[in-house]
Amino acid sequence: ANFSEQVVESFPSDISTGIYYGWACVGNGDVHKMVLSIGWNPFYKNIKKSVETHIIHTFKEDFYGEILSIVITGYIRPEKNFDSLEALISAIQEDIEEAKRQLDLPEHLKLKADNFFHLPEGKIVNNH
């Protein structure tokens, strides 16, 4: 789940590029573990900064146009380039496993139930 350019531009400018972990919720759905990449994705030679969320869950259908709420709880590693697509995929899998381990710790697990993830019915957020 990628955030729009407008949302990316609203992220704090001093946040370091790299791989983070935390919690994500689509609409008023369940809260799931996630890994977040903030940066330029050098393997793909992006010219614009991006924020890409990998929710560690299999959804039954697409959720384009839904509100994605995230809480970043920790940092895994800096952004880096890779020599091959296989090396990139391997690093992503390692990031996912590290996120799972960290998010099972009590200090991170307690944030899963935060009221932040529960949008009031009918509330308009960012014109949606």
**Please, which pLDDT band fits residue 3 given cuts at 50, 70 and 90?**
confident
CB 34 within 8 A of CB 56: yes
pLDDT tens digits, 87-106: 999 999 999 999 999 999 99
The predicted structure's pLDDT at residue 121: 62
Rounded distance between C-alpha atoms, residue 96 and residue 1, angstroms:
15
* Active site residue ranges: 52
Strand 31-39: give its sheet, edge to edge.
50-55, 31-39, 18-26, 68-77
Which pTM does this prediction carry? 0.85
Please name the CATH architecture into which domain 5-113 falls.
Beta Barrel (2.40)
Q: In the chain, what are the domain boundaries? A: 5-113
